[in-house]
Amino acid sequence: MAFSFQNIMTNDIAIDLGTANTLVYVKGRGIVINEPSIVAVRKLDQEIVAYGTEAKEMQGRTPGEITTVRPLKDGVIADFELAEAMIRHFIKRVSMSHLRRPRVAVCIPSGITEVEKRAVRDSCEHAGAREVHLIDEPMAAAIGVGLPIEQPVGSMVVDIGGGTTEIAVISLSGIVTSISIRIGGDEMNEAIVQHFKRNYNLLVGENTAEYIKCTLGSAAPYSEKASMSVRGRDLVAGIPKTVEITQGEVQEALAEAVNAVVDATKLCLERTPPELSSDILDRGIVLSGGGSLLKGLDERLRRETSLPIIVAEDPLTCVVRGTGKVLEDIARYHKLLSKVKRY
C-alpha cells in the first residue's frame, strides 16, 4: 500500500457554527470540540477571559467586571469581533501549526447576511485557513443524517437549534422550499424564565431554565405526573426562594414556541411542490438539532402533519458530521457550497 504523506500533512476541519453550540470535526480524528458558543469578556478592556464550556459555567455567576456574551444570538452574528475571536480560538486549538494550513468548511445559520458570511470567511482566513467553504445548515443536517439529497426525491429536514428553527425540503442537491424562523431553544428557555416571573415573582437564571426544559419540558401531554423544585430569587423580598413546578406548567410555558415550530413546518409543507410532497409522505420528516430532543415534539408533529417523523440519531452532531462529509469530498458537493462574493 502506498504511504500517503498527503493525508498526514492535511489538517482539514469542519465547523458547525451554531447559535448555541460550536462543534469542530477534524478529518481523520472525528469531532474534537463540542462546546457552547459563548465567551466571557472582561468589561474593563474587552479582553476575552474564557471560551466555550468554561464561559458557560460562568454564565449568570460572573462578578461585576466580567460578562458572558453569545456572539451568535438569534441566528445572526450579534458581535462580529467576538464571533471572530471565538472562531479563531477554536481553529487554533485544533490546528497543528507546523503542518499545511487547513482547509475549512463551515456550516452557518441560513438566515445570515452576505456581510456576515464574509465575516465568517474572513475570521477563518485570519485563523490560518487556506480555503474556506460555507454551507447552509439544513443542507449539512440532511447530509449528516444520510438523506439522499443528490437524488430527484424530496427530503425534508427540520433543524431546531438555539436561536433558529430551519426547515427545508431538498431535492437534486438544492433547497426547493425553506423557512427559517428565529425561534428555537433560547426562546423556550426565555418562556420558562417569564413563567416564573409572572406566576411566582421568581427570577431564575438562563441555565436553570434550560435545565428545566431538558428534564421536565415537553411538547405534548405527558402521562407521568412529574414535578421538580426550582430555586431562584424572589423579586419582591429579594431573597432566595424555592418553588415546585409541574410538568404541565412547563408544557404550557413552552406551548407558544412549540406551536411556532409546528406552524412553520406545516407552512413549509404547504409550499412544497406536489411531487415532492408525495415523497415526503413516504419518507417522512427528519428532525435534527438539540431542540428535537424536547420530549413529545416528534409525537406532536406526527399528530399535526400525519407524516412519519424521525428524530435523527445524535441530533446535536448531525450538522457537523454533514459538514465533515462535505469537507471530505468537496468535488462531489461543490454545488451546495454557498459562494461568498469577494470585494
For ligand ADP (CB under 6 A), the number of binding residues is: 19
The residue number with the shortest CB distance to ligand ADP is: 185
The residue among 127 and 316 lying less far from ligand ADP, judged by its C-beta, is 316
Kind and range of the H or E run holding 233: strand 227-234
214 contributes a contact to ligand ADP by CB under 6 A: yes
The residue among 203 and 311 lying less far from ligand ADP, judged by its C-beta, is 311
Question: Of ligand ADP, Mg ion, none, which one sits near residue 49, judging by CB under 5 to 8 A according to partner kind?
Answer: none
The residue among 84 and 186 lying less far from ligand ADP, judged by its C-beta, is 186
Cα 269 to Cα 263: distance, rounded to the nearest angstrom: 10
Q: Which three cell numbers stand for residue 83?
A: 464571533
R_g of the chain, CA atoms, integer Å: 21
Cα 28 to Cα 331: distance, rounded to the nearest angstrom: 18
Rounded (5°) CA angle 126-131-133: 105
Distances in whole angstroms, Cα of residue 29 to Cα of each of 35, 101, 197: 17, 17, 46
Question: Of ligand ADP, Mg ion, none, which one sits near residue 214, judging by CB under 5 to 8 A according to partner kind?
Answer: ligand ADP
163 contributes a contact to Mg ion by CB under 5 A: no
The residue among 52 and 162 lying less far from ligand ADP, judged by its C-beta, is 162
Candidates 50-58, 82-90, 160-168, 270-278: pick the segment binding ligand ADP (CB under 6 A).
160-168
Closest CB 153 distance from ligand ADP, rounded Å = 25
Closest CB 275 distance from Mg ion, rounded Å = 29
Closest CB 260 distance from ligand ADP, rounded Å = 14
CB burial of 98-116 (b: ≥16 within 10 Å; e: otherwise) equals eeeebbbbbbbbbbbeeeb
Q: Among residues 36, 35, 17, 15, which one has the least CA distance to residue 25?
A: 15
By CB under 6 A, name the one of 12, 13, 14, 19 that touches ligand ADP: 19
Cα 324 to Cα 77: distance, rounded to the nearest angstrom: 23
Q: Among residues 167, 168, 163, 204, which one has the least CA distance to residue 186?
A: 163
Cell numbers 404550557 correspond to 252
The residue among 187 and 279 lying less far from ligand ADP, judged by its C-beta, is 187
Query: Regarding beta strands 155-160 and 285-288, do their DSSP bridges make them parallel or antiparallel, or are they unpaired?
Result: parallel
Contact predicate 23/52, CB 8 Å: no
52 contributes a contact to ligand ADP by CB under 6 A: no
Q: What residue type is assigned to position 233 of the chain?
A: R
75 contributes a contact to Mg ion by CB under 5 A: no
Candidates 17-25, 175-183, 231-239, 332-340: pick the segment binding ligand ADP (CB under 6 A).
17-25
Cell numbers 405526573 correspond to 225
By CB under 6 A, name the one of 162, 232, 322, 324 that touches ligand ADP: 162
Cα 316 to Cα 159: distance, rounded to the nearest angstrom: 10
Q: What residue type is assigned to position 181 of the chain?
A: I
| Site track 231-270 with ligand ADP (rule: CB under 6 A), x = hit | ----------------------------------------
217 contributes a contact to Mg ion by CB under 5 A: no
Kind and range of the H or E run holding 241: strand 240-246
Candidates 18-26, 198-206, 303-311, 325-333: pick the segment binding ligand ADP (CB under 6 A).
18-26
By CB under 5 A, name the one of 11, 12, 18, 51 that touches Mg ion: 18
Query: Regarding beta strands 13-17 and 103-108, do their DSSP bridges make them parallel or antiparallel, or are they unpaired?
Result: parallel
Candidates 15-23, 32-40, 76-84, 121-129: pick the segment binding Mg ion (CB under 5 A).
15-23
Kind and range of the H or E run holding 25: strand 21-26
- Residues of this chain that bind ligand ADP (CB under 6 A): 18-21, 161-163, 185-186, 210, 213-214, 217, 289-291, 293-294, 316
- Residues of this chain that bind Mg ion (CB under 5 A): 18, 161, 319
